[in-house]
Amino acid sequence: MWKKINGKDMFKKVLIANRGEVAVRIIRACREIGIPTVAVYSQADANSLHVSLATEAYCIGPNESSKSYLNIPAIISAALVSGADAIHPGYGFMSERADFAEICEEHNIKFIGPSPESMKLMGDKATARKTMSSKNVPITPGTGIITDIEEAKKEAEKFGYPVIVKATAGGGGKGMRVANNPEELEQNITLCRQEAEKFFGNPDVYMEKYLVNPRHIEVQIIADRFGNVVHLGERDCSIQRRHQKLVEEAPSPAVSDDVRKKLGEAAVRAAKAANYEGVGTIEFLLDKDKNFYFMEMNTRLQVEHGISEMISNIDIVREQINIAAGNPLSFKQEDIKLYGHAIECRINAEDPERNFLPAPGEINGYIPPGGFGVRVDSHVYSGYKIPPYYDSLISKVMCWAPTREEARRRMYRALKEYVITGVKTTLPFYQDLIEDEVFISGNFDTGFMNTYKQNK
């Protein structure tokens, strides 16, 4: 089953159960380690870069995700036929499906990620809150699962309106409703329960005090199966639109060395509480007084992991594969030196002038930026047809420099030299945003996009 590479236990072959830029990112890490890769693809993705970069490739179904990238029997069959002994789920698709991780286990295939138990624990938000609170990770004032509406109203009076009702099976902004008074609370509990039952098959809801326009701060952690846990500092993901992140940066302009240390220690306690193995992210909200509160844990590699790699010089995907193969972490917390500043813009095939309407089609001209401190992670090329069936991410432009202002100016330069023709993209939107005075100041929060107007 196993082989050794450079004295480390390593997989013989890794199947990547994903597409797009993240599939390419994982194939690159595998190739550098020396592991052959298996790509799986839908009919729409036959000409995709991950298919040509992998050692071998299998078509697992038609265009729709539900029949291809979410098709468990097809993915497992491809792993068994090809002899892959591990599956990397990337992000999205199968990445947070505990049932899929269990099925992998049953077939003696290593799911590159945490145990199904850790995924279930963190997938249930009310249980996650309880677990965090018991290990001194700060949480917002709130309740457990609401069983009685009158009691919920009494609780809400205690910590004060506004409150937010959340589905325990929700997350990432799905299944949440803000209430400003007892009448709205009663309504929202009922509505939230109905939606939660419909979307997640679990009607349980709880509530928290609602923080108005906090910052979204998340801490990258890496844990091995021997109980070693380290953090790579925080990312600030406050600039988002409808729960889609637009710009991320590391470190956060709002976090001092002192708060960073406390955030990092809280994140490590959180990972230990979940008996966590692999790479993960602890999401916090930060209020105006720099108090932070645990929100959720993302039990997967994240889209924005690259900016943490830039400030830490640690290859997070390589480390993730190492750990999954049973090796201990190759460094300690004190070996990690964070240096400089990194900013990421997610470039999408969307029309910023039409309310970010998806704009699939053929890219007929493509010149990505380059130069010192610039990284572009992408799966596209000149002549590539962006299919309409999946998310519209074209690429992630990441810029590193010693200071935030230098990184920001480098990003402006990179965005200005980037050419993508044939489809509408969000490039013009970012070229404008990166010069916005509020963005330049670093003094913004999750309300940024509500007041931001392009070319104001």
> Active-site positions?
300
Tell me which stretch binds ligand MV4 (CB under 6 A): 42-50, 84-92, 207-215, 385-393: 207-215
Q: Provide the minimum distance between the beta carbon of 397 and ligand MV4 in the complex, in angstroms, as a whole number.
A: 21
| Binding of ligand MV4 by 302 (CB under 6 A) | no
Q: Which of residues 265-284 bind ligand MV4 (CB under 6 A)?
A: 283
Residue 12 or 288: the one with the smaller Cβ distance to ligand MV4 is: 288
Alpha carbons within 13 angstroms on the beta-carbon side of residue 332 total 1
Residue 254 falls in which region: left (phi positive, over 0), alpha (psi -120 to 50) or beta = alpha
The helix (H) or strand (E) run that includes residue 432 is helix 427-433
DSSP 89-100: --SSTTTT-HHH
CA distance 215 to 206: 22
Closest approach, Cβ 185 to ligand MV4, in A, equals 14
Segment contacting ligand MV4 (CB under 6 A): 56-64, 92-100, 203-211, 448-456?
203-211
Based on CB atoms, which residue is closest to ligand MV4, 255 or 374? 255
Q: Is 133 in the site for ligand MV4 (CB under 6 A)?
A: no
Nearer to ligand MV4, 60 or 307 (CB): 307
Q: In the block, which residue shows the tokens 């009310």?
A: 126
Q: Pick from 140, 143, 322, 395: which binds ligand MV4 (CB under 6 A)?
A: 140
Cα 40 versus chain centre, distance: 21
- Pick the binder of ligand MV4 from 73, 173, 227, 402 (CB under 6 A): 173
The maximal CA–CA distance of the chain, rounded, in angstroms, is 64
Q: What does the block give as tokens for 146?
A: 């609401």
Q: What are phi and psi of 76, to 5 degrees?
A: -65, -40
Q: Are the C-beta atoms of 300 and 89 separated by less than 8 Å?
A: yes
Among 38, 119, 211, 349, binds ligand MV4 (CB under 6 A): 211
- Shortest Cβ 163–ligand MV4 spacing (Å): 8
Rounded Cα–Cα distance for residues 131 and 272 (Å): 10
Q: Verify binding: residue 195, ligand MV4, rule CB under 6 A.
A: no
Q: How many residues bind ligand MV4 (CB under 6 A)?
A: 17
Q: Which of 104, 164, 316, 325 binds ligand MV4 (CB under 6 A)?
A: 164
Residue 171 CB, nearest distance to ligand MV4 (Å)?
6
State which of residues 21, 155, 208, 224 lies at the interface with ligand MV4 (CB under 6 A). 208
**158 vs 332 by CB, closer to ligand MV4:** 158
Long-range contacts of 21-24 (CB under 8 A, 24+ apart): 21/377, 21/378, 21/379, 21/393, 21/395, 21/396, 22/90, 22/91, 22/301, 22/303, 23/48, 23/50, 23/90, 23/379, 24/49, 24/50, 24/53, 24/377, 24/378, 24/379
Structure tokens at 257: 């060395």
Q: Which of residues 434-453 bind ligand MV4 (CB under 6 A)?
A: 446
Nearest approach in angstroms of CB 305 to ligand MV4 is 17
Judged by CB under 6 A, does residue 295 bind ligand MV4? yes
Closest separation in Å from C-beta 134 to ligand MV4: 19
Is 244 a binding residue for ligand MV4 by CB under 6 A? The answer is no
Strands (E), 54-162: 56-61, 86-88, 110-111
The C-alpha atoms of residue 350 and residue 353 are separated, in whole angstroms, by: 9
Which residues contact ligand MV4 by CB under 6 A? 140, 164, 172-173, 208-211, 214, 216, 240, 243, 283, 285, 295-296, 446
